[in-house]
Structure 1
Amino acid sequence: MKKILHRPTLKLAIGMVITFILFTGCSKEENTINSDKVAKVQVFVSGIDNVKTGSLKASSAKKTTSNKSIPVIQTVSVRLDNEHYMQATLSRKHGNDQVSDVAGLSKANAAKTAGTTFKAAANPLPTGVTYIVVVYNNNGDYVDQADYTIGGSAPAPFELAADQTYTFITYSLNNSSPLPSAETVSLSGAKLEDIAGTADLLYTRIDQMVTAGPNTLNITLKHLFSEITTTIDGSQIGSIDIADNFYLAPHFDDVDLALADGSLSYRNLNSNGATVQMGAIGGTSITSLPTMIAHPSTANGILKIGAIKIGDVIKNNVEIGGILITPGERYDLNITIKKHPQDVGGLIWAEGDLVYNTNTDVYSFSQSAGDGNYFPFGHLYPYGDGREFDRAAANLGDPCALVMDGNQWRTPTKEDFDILSGEDDISEPRVIDGIDGAWYPTIDSEGVFLPETGYRVPPNSAILQPREGWRWSTTSLWILWAGRHQETGEWYSVVSNRDGGFSTVDWGMKIRCVRDLN
């Protein structure tokens, strides 16, 4: 540890000697009391604190949660040609995954000392990382600073006046490079200038009262820049032969850090953005090195692609925008090239609800939003057929599997419904051909539309609660419920269990079939 101290001038030293001579009459007891007023502050860094964020609606503009928290998953799609589109999913890393991939942080346990309780650090700093701690008194005046290295020799503690509150500012670039020292000005004017936007800037402020004797300062640092790792999956199309000129924007090349509150002043906006270094081409999937992004919070983050060639699909100057990027977060950006606009999570959703023609014994899909039959749970035949309440083995099974169009269709599972709606439900109310329903966007103006249907109960009753959408899964008595609440008129969408007496297997609901992409 290199301790940066300001030593007394010669004039001051002479004055101290004179003072000592004048006050030799002071008692030994009085000197002992003064020494007891010294607070010795030992510094420990636990690691990098996770950013505590919540979730909100993803994809196109949705209603947000009441606390306007940060989306966990966001999905944006861009059409490449008449047959293909590019779906970009930006996902926040969780918990221990919030570690900086640039620094390759180790998972070693943070150092502990007897009698000290540490806050659990998700991401301990690895050996060799340098950081600086700067101390200011309660008036904001500069007091001292020291630079440290993780894994280095035990640092000497700060010696401060006891029973005082001090401000401790800690910063690091999450690497082993020497750090710029803080100027000896007051806290309100202290700043670090010209920090590269490609760095992994870490910062924290702690205000703490110190007492006479040993004190411990436990530090957890926070990222101030974003970090994004990009993966391109072209497995549905072919090998990736070209992937040039990738950028993430907006990005500033330089920032100034205000030590008082960690606020950043952004300078030199890069016209392209931060360069994304993609991995080797030739396979069906490539992953970039982690890319640092220096920017204010933005609701219009953009991935720029200069050129990409996957199989026979060639596209130049592609931009995927509308992504919310929050400073300090770690993200995975997964880009999948897809063939079908009804593709959600590797499943193709039928464009209409299941229809059975009793006269011809043919299963097909409705061609208009209001069509489709009502099937009891796990039953091959719908209401009105005459066999709908006969639960003999010959009448049970998956009716979607009987659609003879060359594809292997099936009734969705509960898990399929969960994927359709997303971790943060992406559905929105929409009216098509005069019929209300739930819209699950996939690309541009396309998506999966589930009309409000209501349900039926024995014996062949009229449609109940027609403003609501009810569809069976194959998971025991689980349904997808989406539509307007019958009593309040409020929009609602949920994957729900209708067991426990609230419904029976004989309730009639519509079915939206799915199949695998390939």
Structure 2
Amino acid sequence: MKSISENFTKIIKGIALGSVVFIGVSSCSSRDDKSEDLNNSAKATLNFNIVGIENAGGVSASASVDKQGSTLGGSSVITKENTVSLKDFDVLTSMEKVGGLGTIASSAGMNGAQAATQPMTSGVKYLIQVYVAGTTTSPVVNTVATAGVDPSITVPAGQSYDWYVFSTNDGTAPVINNGVISSSTIANKDVLYAKSAAPVTVQSGQNDLAVSFRRNTVRVDVNVDARGLFGKIDNTTTVELGTGTGGSFASVVKSGDLNIFTGAYTNIQAVPALVSGSNMVNTVGAQGDAGAIKTASFYTVDASTNSIPANLSVRLSTLGVNMDDNSLRTFTGASVAYTNTAITPVIGTQYLLNARMIESGVQVGSTVWARTNLFYAGYATDKYRFHPTNEYTIAEVLNLGVDPLLPLLQLGGQAFNVTNEYWNWRSLTPGGAPNSGDPCALVQPAGKWRMPLSSEFTSLGTNSNSNNTDAPLIGGARMASVWNLTSGTADLSYPMTSRNLFVPLFGYRTSDGQSILDSPGSLLTAVLANGSSYYWAGDANSGAPYFHYRAYTAAVTLPVLGSLVAVWGPAGVHTTSTTTLTQILNVGVPVLTKANPVTSSNVGLNIRCVRS
């Protein structure tokens, strides 16, 4: 029989052995739990889902800004439309405040985001930085991502973080040094900013963060509208925003160093900012042809008192316009002045300067005439246009009766639809119903041109200051009456024949729309040439519309007989009830008349518009 002490010893040893086994199992289990936590941490991801840019440039009926800088959508007029006359063209100017952006965009936590109105363009770069909550050094994440591919970023689980996302809305991501983005890298750029509204605690597995950017600048758009110049804006164009003109011009665009944690700027200074035509964009919602209206965007970080000064100026050191005939017309040295009062902006708001161009005219007496004839461009959105030049001819395709002088074959070959050159009286399309409206009033900008009055034609007198004849060997000839300017100087930006009042002789279109008669032609280079001009006035006498008429007739006898007869008839105003028109008068030859072919408002004549 064993003693009690021996039994007690065995019990103690058993307990000890059991304890060792238990401790071993417990330790093993503890190690397994830690391993599982680490593995779960490695699998914790932040999915940054880029929703877009809040209220990015939307224009609606009205706008307002509260004291904190939050904005309600819409736009409001700051400066009503005003006409600014420049050397080469006139400009209709106006200024608006566009619905801006609210406070800094953020995500309150998982799956939280403010509404965005514009998606970020695919391919745009942005930078993500993630910090342990409450810290501003040693970011846990510092990565560049690309719009269109939402990044998934691995971080340890069970930890709280602050995150920040930045972009300049282009193909280059910002560079951050010690929590600061340098002024030089964001000058005149569309700085977009988003951050977490509060620390985000990351759980194991997938963590979705919806990100909406806000604009962290004041944006000023300049809409350059070249529809009234009858072309599209070329890449040679340059646009600047500032104050003053010439040598006193100073940029109002400012940049500064951006603190990524606060979103605030320091070391704010003015910077040069020039937007080229290649960096302008087709204006959203523009009604004209693509390229006729383009927007240059400027971004300033200064939101101090009156930081948008009074009397802004848009400088167009070069304005290149691609014309309908594929020529490039270049205007230089234009500064467009605005009459706005000073503005204290809020970061995230947006302003719009409109610059609607009007082609300058040529002034004879008190009337400002268009430089070229009106035509209907069926291929264009803005169909009521002036020709880019007067240097073209319109010969009759087949005319065997050029007035009563000689039968003559004339050849055409026009590059445009010639019938769109001839209008029924006060019709809204060349062959449209007579007296249905003023087609000149539909030239862009609408309402700035009109048909001339008969009295304005009469004021030109019966003789022009000079005449132009350009007769080829055979076919269409360019002939025109030319009246000199009585105010201003010839504008060298326009073609030679558009620098004075150059009125070509293009004949008329018959009322059935089938023939063009009395347009200039020649045979054997000035041996024989003749033609007439017919232009509608906008008024009538007892229901009979007025028109302006002038004829040219030339004949050269054989050299052995030796004399030239080249006669311009008197310029004058007639009506559709006139019976005869004078061709040659008091030049040593018999008076020559012909029957008036313009006997109804359905006969197609040319139109030369005047300023309203």
Q: TM-score, normalised by structure 1?
A: 0.43
Q: TM-score, normalised by structure 2?
A: 0.37
The structure having more radius of gyration, on CA atoms, is: 2
